[in-house]
């Protein structure tokens, strides 16, 4: 039997001497080798749908830094595209999609089990990675959470306050809930196929969970995460799930127990000491260095990294940023963070 991977040990609840480490958006524009492969692919979406090149960019940060986990290179907006939405990226601005303004737009979407043909290249990327990754590196698959994906589908773009999605929820709740249900089912299908292809862990990104309050948070962030986790556990009982209800604040408390997730990822708006006390008490946590330290570096990076490692040292912890690394980050600061965590 091979040694269990460090990431899998933390997810199983083990408290390790030094935490495993990986980074959200670790394959990204801050790396010159990523920019070169992306140019070779032509554009971002062509890169996502090219299994050889998507596997290559996934492997780049593993070769450079030796992270404990690789995350599949893809995007949370491939699911809307697989459901029939138009998707394109505007350089320097971000994603654009056809919009969902009511029941007529919703009716044009495909069904949850129709996504696989479109997403086949993603499954192929996972297969390549499961062969090519070093034996100590865990492979993480992922999808967007239904609410976060719905915010992009409804507005047709990223929005500062998710206003259009909140408006549809208020004005046409039946269509809104039908969309959440469709995305929940499609996400189960999608993640299950990633697991069949070789993903060892899956992560659900709910980047905009923080704009759901009170009962809405329960119904549209927690409930879908629970449905997805439970359906996956029924099919793949040994595959851990990481939930990331970003900016959930007090909503992080009890989220793992309520959904069945094995780990909750914490953003950097939350104090590590607070999260250790109120969230890590339920099991593994991931996080939560502010991504800005990857730009600024220096002693502040070292001090803050040490503070977070120490705060979470009493329980299972995966070191990560509180959100994705930004294109202006300095690759040397990433090495400094890793050296600090592992020393
Ligand atoms: O983490 C990883 O390295 C794995 C790959 C990954 C990407 N996007 C690649 C990507 C993952 C896990 C995502 C998740 C994702 N995508 C989220 C949830 C996490 C988060 O950041 O909150 C969201 C909201 C998206 C949607 C999305 N994709 C946006 C809003 C943008 C444009 C903003 C930007 O950073 O340019 C993207 C593009 C994107 N996805 C890039 C990468 C590396 C940059 C595209 C490029 O190369 O030009």
Test site for ligand 1: of 21, 27, 28, most ligand atoms within 8 A of the Cβ: 28
Atom of ligand 1 nearest to the CA of 77: 26
pLDDT tens for residues 193-239?
999 999 999 999 999 999 999 999 999 999 999 999 999 999 999 99
Q: Which of 21, 22, 23, 25 to mutate to test the pocket of ligand 1 (most atoms within 8 A of CB)?
A: 25
Residue whose CA is at the smallest distance from ligand 1 atom 10: 75
| pLDDT tens string 101-143 | 999 999 999 999 999 999 999 999 999 999 999 999 999 999 9
Q: Quick one: pLDDT at residue 116?
A: 98
Q: Are strands 94-97 and 317-321 parallel, antiparallel or unpaired?
A: unpaired
Q: Is 38 in the pocket of ligand 1 (CB under 6 A)?
A: yes
26 lines ligand 1 (CB under 6 A): yes
* CA 309–ligand 1 middle distance (angstroms): 26
Cα–ligand 1 centroid distance for 25 (angstroms): 7
Residue 2, pLDDT score: 72
What is the number of the ligand 1 atom nearest to the C-alpha of 91? 48
Bridge partners of 94, per DSSP, are 90
Beta carbon of 77 within 6 Å of any ligand 1 atom: yes
pLDDT along the chain (343 residues), means of 10: 89 98 98 98 97 98 98 98 98 95 98 98 98 98 98 98 98 98 98 98 98 97 98 98 98 98 98 98 97 98 98 98 98 98 96
Residue 27 Cβ inside 6 Å of ligand 1? The answer reads yes
């Amino acid at each position: 039997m091979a040694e269990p991977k460090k990431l899998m040990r933390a997810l199983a609840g083990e408290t390790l001497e030094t935490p495993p480490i990986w980074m959200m958006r670790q394959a990204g524009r801050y790396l010159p080798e990523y920019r070169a492969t992306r140019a070779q692919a032509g554009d971002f979406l062509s890169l996502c749908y090219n299994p050889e090149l998507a596997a290559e960019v996934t492997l780049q940060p593993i070769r450079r830094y030796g992270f404990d986990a690789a995350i599949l290179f893809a995007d949370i907006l491939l699911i809307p595209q697989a459901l029939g939405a138009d998707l394109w990226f505007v350089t320097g601005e971000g994603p654009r999609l056809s919009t969902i303004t009511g029941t007529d737009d919703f009716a044009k979407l495909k069904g949850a089990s129709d996504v696989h043909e479109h997403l086949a290249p993603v499954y192929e990327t996972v297969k390549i990675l499961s062969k090519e990754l070093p034996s100590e590196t865990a492979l993480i698959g992922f999808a967007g959470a239904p609410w976060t994906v719905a915010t992009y589908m409804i507005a047709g773009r990223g929005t500062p306050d998710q206003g259009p999605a909140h408006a549809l929820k208020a004005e046409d709740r039946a269509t809104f809930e039908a969309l959440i249900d469709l995305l929940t089912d499609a996400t189960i299908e999608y993640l299950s196929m990633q697991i069949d292809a070789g993903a060892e862990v899956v992560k659900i990104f709910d980047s905009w969970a923080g704009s759901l309050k009170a009962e809405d948070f329960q119904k549209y962030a927690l409930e879908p995460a629970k449905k997805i986790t439970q359906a996956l556990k029924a099919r793949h009982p040994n595959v851990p799930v990481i939930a990331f209800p970003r900016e959930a604040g007090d909503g992080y408390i009890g989220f793992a127990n309520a959904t069945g997730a094995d780990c909750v990822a914490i953003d950097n708006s939350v104090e590590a000491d607070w999260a250790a006390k109120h969230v890590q008490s339920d099991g593994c946590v991931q996080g939560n260095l502010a991504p800005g330290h990857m730009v600024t570096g220096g002693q502040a990076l070292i001090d803050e990294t040490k503070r977070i490692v120490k705060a979470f040292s009493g329980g299972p912890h995966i070191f990560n940023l509180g959100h994705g690394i930004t294109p202006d980050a300095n690759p040397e600061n990433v090495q400094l963070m890793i050296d600090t965590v592992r020393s």
